[in-house]
Amino acid sequence: MASLGLQQHDSPATLTDPPLTTPTVSVVLPTYNRADTIGAAIRSVLCQSFAALELIVVDDGSTDNTSEVVDALDDPHSRYHVQANRGASAARNAGIAEVA
């Protein structure tokens, strides 16, 4: 397999790793009323072996306990953006606007 010149680590990023100053990859994760699945989605992103990433979770006005689930998974590689419900496209665009 050809090298893409990406910095990789032997172990996945963990909740205790320090945040990166300039991440190479930004993952935008829009959500709306997905408290039952958002934790698993966040852990999936943060457990990748490629650690030079940031995760931007955009809550599109959830009315369930999505915010409590996201807050409980506090991680220096991630940011949480809450907005009024404007739809999936607006949530993705808001996340892209947050990219470091």
What's the pLDDT tens digit per position in 21-45?
678 899 999 999 999 999 999 999 9
Longest CA span, the chain: 45
Asked, for residue 52, whether it belongs to a domain, the answer is yes
Asked, for residue 44, whether it belongs to a domain, the answer is yes
The count of structural domains within the chain is 1
Asked, for residue 74, whether it belongs to a domain, the answer is yes
Choice among 19-33, 71-85, 86-100 with the minimum mean pLDDT: 19-33
Q: Give the CATH number of the domain where residue 59 resides.
A: 3.90.550.10
Q: Per DSSP, what are the bridge partners of residue 57?
A: 29, 80
Q: Is the pLDDT of residue 53 over 70?
A: yes
Asked, for residue 75, whether it belongs to a domain, the answer is yes
Asked, for residue 19, whether it belongs to a domain, the answer is no
Residue 48 lies in domain: 25-97
CA angle 53, 44, 49 (to 5 degrees): 50
